[in-house]
Amino acid sequence: MNLVAKEYVAARGDGDGILLLSEFTGAARELVEALVINPYDVETFALRIREASAMPPAERARRIARLRERLAEQNIYRWAAEMLDALLDLSEGKLG
């Protein structure tokens, strides 16, 4: 579930910050405003760190705000409702 990445975003209440996230994480598909990296590609990883450190404050603020919005939308209640809906569909023969 990659909670550490989401915890970082949730903790950035100051409206500033940039998330670098491995492309091999599940969260990379959900947290699309993060700078996605391949941790095994050292040169590109370094370029992304440089990009993050040079990013204008307004762009950092836009990205972290959108990430925080996404976390608020994709919460445990929504996940539970989706799981219950899937179980209901399964029990009614709508899946599979």
**Mean pLDDT score across all residues of the chain:** 92
Q: What is the mean pLDDT of residues 89-96?
A: 79
Band (pLDDT 50/70/90 cuts) for residue 96 is low
pTM of the model: 0.78
Q: Sign of the CA dihedral 47, 59, 55, 68? A: negative
Q: For domain 3-91, give its CATH number from 3.90.1660.10, 3.40.50.2000, 3.40.190.80, 3.40.50.1980.
A: 3.40.50.2000
Residue 62 pLDDT > 80: yes
Dihedral of the CA atoms 28, 15, 75, 1 (nearest 10)? 30
Torsions phi, psi of 15, nearest 5? 80, 15
Within 10 angstroms of residue 12's Cβ, the number of other Cβ atoms is 18
Tens of pLDDT, residues 1-45: 568 999 999 999 899 999 999 999 999 999 999 999 999 999 999
